[in-house]
Amino acid sequence: MLRRFRTGVIVVSAAAGLTLLSACSGTTARLAPVPSGGTGGQGELAAAATAVKLAATNVGELGKVLTDGDGHTLYRFDKDTAKPPKSACVDDCAKAWPPLLSKGDVQLDGVDKSLVGSVTRDDGTEQVTVNGWPLYTYAKDTTPGDATGQGVNGTWFAATPQGSKAGKSTSDSVKLSADEVDGVGAAVVDQDGFTLYLFTKDSKKPSKSTCDGDCAKLWPPVLTKGDVALDGIAAKLLGSVKRADGTTQATLGGWPLYRYSKDTAPGQAKGMGVKGTWFVIEPNGCKSGTTTSTRTAPAKPTTSAPVTSASSDPYSY
């Protein structure tokens, strides 16, 4: 199941139309033409190669991140947007953080071609995107494998092959957003765009998680150490619960929240209905399909509700 991304382009395979396939080493993704976004003062940045390369590469403690054809780490910028794709880094910013530009094919190594697209910059050049996020190199990375741009100004992060932020910062920064998932409808997704679930063997009054051990490996709980940002979700629905291992799990409408490990890309919902106990959670905190939900106005970031004790009761999954 695929999420409805509003990207500026659609990546297509010349041999398979709109069929989405996982990319293998040496494959390419062709960027469809996009309309010009106007002209700007970045003519010196317009000299892009006709083809670039995206590779999934292990870089130091960051783990697997995106690199270009020269092995340089690629970054995403928190002040950009992914839906729709938009670059906010221009002029002097673009000199320090050169955008990854392309006029043609993008060669892929370990990157899902369905996530690759492009966005037209203000100067009319095309910048490569992954999962909607524009990609950049960092001028101070002088050697392949450098990642000195990680965490700069709290807004620049190495990009993973899924387009999310690399490093420990992602585990400490939680965002819940109202979205739509194909085949499911209204759903809650996390900061990386992954669908979130509730477990009917948990309880919401009081909040209690019963998914531990092997269960929690298959269904990773949404853990938080501080504030949780909300988009399209009412702040009054947000809470938290203390798990058996002492960690704090975010709740919505009282239900503890989980990802599903078999969802490998944003917009998937392979966990829907598993064992008749796992369901996508709607933005109103209800099990998917039980209500007709509508989006609320975007809510401001808020701290977690007071935590309660978690349970170590038996579970199934």
* pLDDT value of position 32: 45
pTM over 0.75: no
Q: What is the DSSP string of the chain?
A: --B----SS--BBTTTBT------TTEEEEPPP-------S-GGG----S-EEEEEEEEGGGEEEEE-TTS-B-EEETTSEETTEE----THHHHHS-B-B-SSEEEEES--GGGEEEEE-TTS-EEEEETTEE-B--TT--STT--TTTTGGGTEEEBPTTSSB-STHHHH-EEEEEEEETTTEEEEE-TTS-B-EEETTSEETTEE----THHHHHS-B-B-SS-EEEESS-GGGEEEEE-TTS-EEEEETTEE-B--TT--STT--TTTTGGGTEEEBPTTSSBTTSS---PPPPPPPBPPPPP----------
What is the pLDDT, as a whole number, of residue 14?
A: 34
pLDDT per residue of the chain (317 residues) written in tens, 0 to 9: 444 433 343 333 333 333 333 333 456 665 544 333 333 344 434 334 446 899 999 998 888 999 999 999 999 999 999 989 999 999 999 999 999 998 888 999 999 989 999 999 999 999 999 999 999 999 999 999 999 999 888 889 999 998 988 874 434 578 999 999 999 999 999 988 899 999 999 999 999 999 999 999 999 999 988 788 899 999 999 999 999 999 999 999 999 999 999 998 888 999 999 999 999 999 999 999 875 433 333 443 433 333 333 333 333 33
Please check whether residue 223 is in contact with residue 284, taking contact to mean a CB–CB distance below 8 angstroms.
no
> Residue 111: its pLDDT value, please?
92
Query: What is the per-residue pLDDT for 70?
Result: 93
Q: 233: closest CA among 190, 270, 197?
A: 190
Model pLDDT, residue 225: 80
Q: How many CB atoms lie within 10 A of CB 175?
A: 16
Q: What is the pLDDT of residue 51?
A: 66
Give the per-residue pLDDT at 172: 52
Residue 285 CA to residue 129 CA, distance in Å, equals 32
